Amino acid sequence: MPHLHIRSAQPDDIGLIIGFIRELADYEKLSDQVVVDPAQMREHLFGTRPFAEVLIGEVDGAAAGFALFFHNYSTFLGKPGIYLEDLYVRSKARGTGLGTALLGKLASLAIERGCGRLEWSVLDWNEPAIDFYKRLGAQPLDDWTQYRLTGPALHELSQRPV
């Protein structure tokens, strides 16, 4: 049985975190979209006003996965929530229980912080992840469609008069 350990990321982990992000993007066939700047990410994760947090998952003392998350808020519940932006476990560590341990730690943090929910998105084609999430009891939100504004559309909307 492998030894699993979950820890909070530290500023010195930026290179490791970005490496995990690049591996995840490669797995998701989205490598061309990774444009993260290490200094900016360090500020966003560990600066005076952190926007997100990261857990590092280790198997037998070696970093093998991560979870990057941040708080959101449910007006219907009147409580904060945790949104999992990225969850990734290296292929050689899959099946060790590390993914479950990372999500378990996030669930514990959600309870400790008085959150009403833990949520995330998954690509429609990622059947191994979908099956994994369903085995944990997660339910898909089939009646919701996610929207996103980026780049020129985001800037154009920001310039519209009030």
Q: What DSSP letter does each residue of 50-111 carry, written as one string?
A: ---EEEEEEETTEEEEEEEEEEEEETTTTEEEEEEEEEEE-GGGTTTTHHHHHHHHHHHHHH
Q: How many domains does the chain have?
A: 1
The tokens for 76 are: 């219907």
Q: Stretch 39-56: mean pLDDT, rounded?
A: 98
Q: Where does the pLDDT of residue 78 fall: very low under 50, low under 70, confident under 90, or very high at 90 and above?
A: very high
Catalytic annotation on 88? Answer: no
**Which residue has 């991560």 as its token pair?**
66
- Which pTM value belongs to this model? 0.94
Q: Where does the pLDDT of residue 162 fall: very low under 50, low under 70, confident under 90, or very high at 90 and above?
A: confident
CATH number at residue 106: 3.40.630.30
Q: Which domain holds residue 90?
A: 4-158
Please tell me the predicted confidence (pLDDT) of residue 114. Answer: 98
